[in-house]
Amino acid sequence: MIFLLLPPSLFFILLGLRAAARPQDLLAGFDLPAKSALSRNEIRAVYGGFPLFIGAALVLPLAWPEMLPGVAAAGALSLAGMATGRLLSAVIDGEIGRMPLIFTVVEIAGAAMIAAAWLGA
């Protein structure tokens, strides 16, 4: 069951690498341009550094299984929090765009995978 951590880990790592490499493109599908060094810094931090380290943390239980409860809690709650924020926004605004919907589905699936790995351990 611990291998269920790998797809969410890959998602986080790829998201982080993409944000670090091309912050100006990452949020274009959300109508959020990154035109300044200030905005690119924020994207690299929140969508780059944070996901990279969560993704790395999710692979640690493969070597150190005793880390699974803490890592799984952090990863699952991070993804569930993102999905909840998107759903709350959709309710408040009365709509959800294509990209936010895709990310919501991916975040819910990732949270479920991490929770299954944790509960199955």
Residue ranges of the chain whose pLDDT lies below 50:
none
Structural domains of the chain, count: 1
The CA-to-CA distance between both ends of the chain, in Å, stands at: 6
The parent domain of residue 14 ranges over 2-120
State pTM to two decimals. 0.86
pLDDT at 57: 96
pLDDT at 121: 63
- Whole-angstrom Cα distance, residue 84 to residue 19? 22
